[in-house]
Amino acid sequence: MSLFVVFIIAIGFSLSFYLDGAYQILIVAIILSVFMSTFSYYKADKVALWSTGAKEIKKEDNPYIYRLVENLCIASGITTPKVHIINSSALNAFATGRDPEHASIALTTGLIEALENEELEGVIAHELSHIKNYDIRLMTVVVVLVGAIAILGNLIFRIQLYGGHRRSGNRDSGNAGLIILIISLVFLIISPIIAEIIKLAISRKREYLADASGALLTRYPEGLARALEKISKSEVPFQKASAATSHLFISNPLKKKAFSKLFSTHPPVDDRIMRLRQM
């Protein structure tokens, strides 16, 4: 988050220097970076749940699912998170929140219908492990910060295309303006790459850890292994998923979208299954 603030302020400074005395941009960049960081920490989980169409349930709404979550929470020693159901035939699930006391878990209706009891227990244990390991804080914050970087990249492009005037006092200031223009364009090009690298670095290692932690919780690695096999064989994409939220899910939800495998935020399913069965 600190690097994000520095990154946004650096872009704001570059643009304010490039444009004729437009230091308001630097002020806006400072305010934006602090606001987005704070918002991502406290509210990004609600953004993720809302964007995926997740609906919170109580125990009486679905006693089977709620008790599975509740029993595993007792076994792992964490607070029972809010339980959500997503009305989708896709097979997927995710957890979100900033800490175990402010966490949520969401399961698709397709997943609930397709998996046996031990398999569903394995998936839930995996997601609860993300909560217990505090992965959810990091992964949820990334949802908003990655989105902010994407928005900023588009804003820079529009400012360069339609925006103000370069500093023009003398040749040196003109050269400086050209340098800042180049730097700004570089930021525009690398910002989505940086966002993707952040997600890749965070997600892949944490998925392996959550698999192992979930298997430790249930004492039955085969349950999660079989669940991952069924999930990977499903050809139904999760339509409400986006590049900003894909890293939250137990399996890459962008199954049918172009370049989804090239920039997958998840390690290979076959490798995850192999590791589980070697435990």
* Per-domain boundaries in the chain: 2-277
Catalytic residues: 127
Q: Confirm if 253 and 92 have CB atoms less than 8 A apart.
A: yes
Which pLDDT band, with edges at 50, 70 and 90, does 184 fall under? Answer: low
The residue-averaged pLDDT of 58-82 equals 95
CA dihedral 232, 194, 39, 210 (to 10 degrees): 30
Over pLDDT 90: what percentage of the chain? 42
Lowest mean pLDDT among 91-100, 167-176, 182-191: 167-176
Q: How far apart are CA 98 and CA 88, in angstroms?
A: 25
Which pLDDT band, with edges at 50, 70 and 90, does 33 fall under? Answer: confident
Which pLDDT band, with edges at 50, 70 and 90, does 168 fall under? Answer: very low
Lowest mean pLDDT among 32-36, 115-119, 210-214: 32-36
Looking at the DSSP bridge assignments, the partners of residue 57 are 83
Q: Confirm if 78 and 100 have CB atoms less than 8 A apart.
A: yes
pLDDT beyond 70 at 263? no
Give pLDDT, residue 163: 54
> Which is nearest to 96 in space by CA: 131, 54, 144, 146?
131
Which pLDDT band, with edges at 50, 70 and 90, does 203 fall under? Answer: low
Say which residues have a Cβ less than 8 Å from residue 220's Cβ, sequence separation at least 6: 118, 121, 122
Mean pLDDT, the chain, integer: 81
Which pLDDT band, with edges at 50, 70 and 90, does 38 fall under? Answer: confident
Q: For tokens 């305010």, name the residue.
A: 31
Say which residues have a Cβ less than 8 Å from residue 182's Cβ, sequence separation at least 6: none
**Helix (H), strand (E) counts: the chain:** 9, 4
Looking at the DSSP bridge assignments, the partners of residue 94 are 106, 249
Looking at the DSSP bridge assignments, the partners of residue 166 are 19
Report the Cα 194 to chain-centroid distance in Å. Answer: 14
pLDDT beyond 50 at 88? yes
Lowest mean pLDDT among 8-17, 83-92, 175-184: 175-184
The residue-averaged pLDDT of 150-163 equals 62
Give pLDDT, residue 235: 85
Distances (CA, A) of 156 to 54, 152, 182, 244, 272: 33, 6, 12, 20, 40
CA-angle at 83, arms to 218 and 64, nearest 5°:
60
pTM recorded for the entire structure: 0.76
